[in-house]
Structure 1
Amino acid sequence: RPALAAFLEGHAWQDDLARLFAQLGQGLSEGLADQPALWTHNDWHPSNLLWASDGTVATTFDFGLADRTCALHDLATALERTAIAWLDLGHGADETLASADAARALLAGYATVRPLEAEDVETVARLLPLVHVEFALSEIDYFNGVLGNASDATLAWDGYLLGHARWFLSRAGQAFLHAIRMPAGA
């Protein structure tokens, strides 16, 4: 990704990412160690799905971020893309960006297909602040390389990548993570 590399040349990106992973990635490798690798969508959210009239998913599309990760990574991505109103970040609504109820409903629905142990939910909660990194990097690459728009590439770096991760360190982000860790009905 030459356009991404060119953009990152002007940033202390190694330091920024090292700080984020040190703050947000604690215990994550242990939670992922026993997860089987499989092909995942990595951008699972309602606008990448076609719905049948009965409300079930009929088709999934947009496999541009598909990769070998694990099921919990895809679940964390789905939560991150559906339960948090990222477009409102920085517009005065940061305390109310996330819906813990929506996240818990998605977790409950997922658990009807693949049971989730407490350790799985903990791993998902640890993944949530970091699953957007690949998407943010792909946006930087797109804005800088395809569109030649350094301003939007900077927005993707500062807002999509760093801003999203930092939100999870905020009081609201921590409350959201705490809420999804709670057992159903608690």
Structure 2
Amino acid sequence: MENAGDHDAPGQFGLWKKHAERDWPALTEQEIASVLAPASPDSAATGDRHPSPSCDKTAPFWHSERPFSAAALIVRQGAPDVIVKRHHHGLRSRETLQTEHALIRHLHGRGLPVALPLALANGEDVTCEDPWVYEAFPRLSGRDLYRDRMSWDPYFSVAQARAAGQALARYHDAATGFEAPDRADTPLVSALAPLLGTQPESALRRWVAAQPALEGALDRHDPHGRWLAALAPHLHRAAQKPDSFPSLWGHGDWHGSNLIWPDEIAGGGTDAAPHPDADIVAPCPFDFGMADRTTRPFDIAVALERSMFGWLSPEAGSYRVEWEQIDAFLSGYDRLWPLSGRLCKAIATMLPLAHVTFACSEIWYYDTLLGREDDARTALEDYLIAHAAWFSSPDGRAACDHIARWEARSQKAHRQDAPPGKGRFAG
């Protein structure tokens, strides 16, 4: 944790380690005070937004080290703690944040305990001051257990992986019924739309061509199109089994550091856990910046890709697989939404493609928006290409097969454990 008011402290999580400098300058007391200034009576929050907090103290208590935006925690005496986030307009507009806020309000209305956006000084839940776009949220109760961990780190325990899986099933249930167009043209979201249909390679090419800056970056850093060659077998497999599952709005970035953990499952990082078929106190999600219209199998694949492989510590060209955590995550999800064999096969098919659109956006982000060509090449080589290539290796195919067969293995295990005459969902 940084010292209160230490706005210029360097350091932010990057692709594989902590960067010496932040992508974006840290929030200052002056801009926070401007964003959170008390609203006038005629601009107070209405409907289901939280009222604007008072701003008698605006010194940041802590600055987030997550990339892509600047965020700070404001702790005040006699008032709720607040998280303020600032985005560059090249990444998020008023309209894109309002879509995220509408999703959050929908989730809240369906009973998910998410943090509703705050009304700001302008009486709205988004305020813009070129080139910045601001939003704020009350601090959720619970523990930000993975705050100082890289996004691709595994869960601390099998029990927490199971809880995260059950929480994602609850999220998907709450997201059902939310209607908004996909936002595959928005940078840095986990977009499924460019990978759908019977010709996903052609659809992906069209998606890239519609973004001239991204297309130019890929051509400069990879003139021979190795990225498409690495993806070709996975795109071909997806074409044989097009994702025909109902659409819903997924979270798009489900991992430990985007969840607030209740004390019941946060303490000690141990594997102490109730029976896999028992309901548990689930963590609560936040940070919906990568959310998009998707499907259950793709959003589950994204969640597995984010946390179940040792991407940050490759060993002799391969990566550690968290086999137990994969099974625990799927069993947690299955507790609330049974995972059919067809759904498990779809998750396995989409897993090697779960990172593709986001990785492409990262290449654009570093190459064009930040002008950091070395990081753009890292995103291309070590993220987009290397991950896709690994899923074509024996170890990668074994991981996909393990997931594809999870339902069959689970059925067998339940039959062995069940008393005579009782099946998986009995009594």
User: TM-score band, normalised by the shorter chain?
Assistant: 0.7 to 0.9
Pick the aligned partner of 1:133 from 356, 359, 364.
356
Q: Are 1:7 and 2:230 matched, yes or no?
A: no
Stretch moving more, 73-82 or 52-61: 52-61
Match status 1:65 vs 2:290: yes
What percent of counterpart residues are identical? 37
**Aligned counterparts of 1:67 and 1:74: Cα–Cα separation in 2:** 10
| Separation (CA, whole Å) in 1 of partners of 2:313 and 2:355 | 16
Aligned residues: 184
Residues 13, 115 of structure 1: CA spacing in aligned structure 2 closer, same or farther, 3 A cutoff?
A: farther
Q: What's 2:258 paired with?
A: 48
| Residue 146 of structure 1: how far off its partner (Å) | 3.0
Match of 1:38 in 2: 248
- Aligned residue for 2:358, secondary structure, equals helix
Output the TM-score relative to the length of structure 2. Answer: 0.40
Deviation track 1:29-72 (CA, whole Å, cap 9, x = no partner) reads: 56444311111111111111111112344432222221111111
With 22-31 and 40-49 compared, the bigger mean Cα shift is at 22-31
Alignment of 1:136-151 (within 5 A): 136-151=359-374
Structure 1 residue 116 and structure 2 residue 339: aligned? yes
Give 1:76's aligned residue. Answer: 301
| Of 309, 313, 333, the match for 1:88 | 313
Secondary structure of the corresponding residue to residue 252 of structure 2: coil
| Equivalent residue number for residue 28 of structure 1 | 238
Which is further off, 16-25 or 102-111? 16-25
2:325 is matched with which residue?
102
Amino acid at match of 2:306: R
Contact 2:227 2:384 in 1 (8 A): no
Note closer, same or farther for the CA distance 1:50–1:31 as it changes in structure 2 (3 Å cut). Answer: farther
The Cα of 1:107 is off from its aligned counterpart by: 0.9
Higher mean alpha-carbon deviation, 54-63 vs 123-132, is at 54-63
- Which amino acid is 1:34 matched to? S
- Provide the rounded CA distance (Å) in 2 between the counterparts of 1:4 and 1:173: 28
SS in 2 for 1:34: coil
Aligned residue type for 1:74: D
- Which one has a larger percent strand, Structure 1 or Structure 2? 2
Partner Cα separation in structure 1 for residue 232 and residue 352 of structure 2: 12
Mapped to 2, the partners of 1:140 and 1:52 lie a distance apart of: 36
Displacement after TM superposition at 1:78 (Å): 0.6
Q: The residue matched to 1:9 in structure 2 has which SS? A: helix
Change over 3 Å in CA distance of 1:14–1:124 after alignment to 2:
farther
Q: CA RMSD in A?
A: 2.3
Q: Matches of 1:46 and 1:10 in 2, distance apart?
A: 35
Partner of 2:23 in structure 1? none
1:54 alignment partner AA:
E
Q: 1 or 2, which has the higher helix percentage?
A: 1
3-state DSSP of counterpart to 1:169 = coil
Distance 1:61 1:106 in 2: 19
DSSP-derived class of the 2:336 partner: coil
> Residue type of the partner of 1:103?
I
CA distance in 2, matches of 1:67, 1:119: 23
Does the C-alpha gap of structure 1 residues 172 and 107 become closer, same or farther in structure 2, counting only changes over 3 Å?
Answer: same
Gap regions ≥5 residues in structure 1: none
Distance (whole Å) between structure 2 residues aligned to residue 39 and residue 85 of structure 1: 27
Given that 2:249 and 2:295 are in contact with CA atoms closer than 8 Å, whether structure 1 keeps it comes out as yes
Contact 1:41 1:63 (8 Å CA) reproduced: yes
Q: Larger radius of gyration, structure 1 or 2?
A: 2
CA distance in 1, matches of 2:324, 2:299: 19
Report whether the alignment pairs 1:152 with 2:375.
yes
**CA–CA separation in structure 2 for the residues paired with 1:52 and 1:146:** 37
Structure 1 CA distance, aligned partners of 2:319 and 2:214? Answer: 32
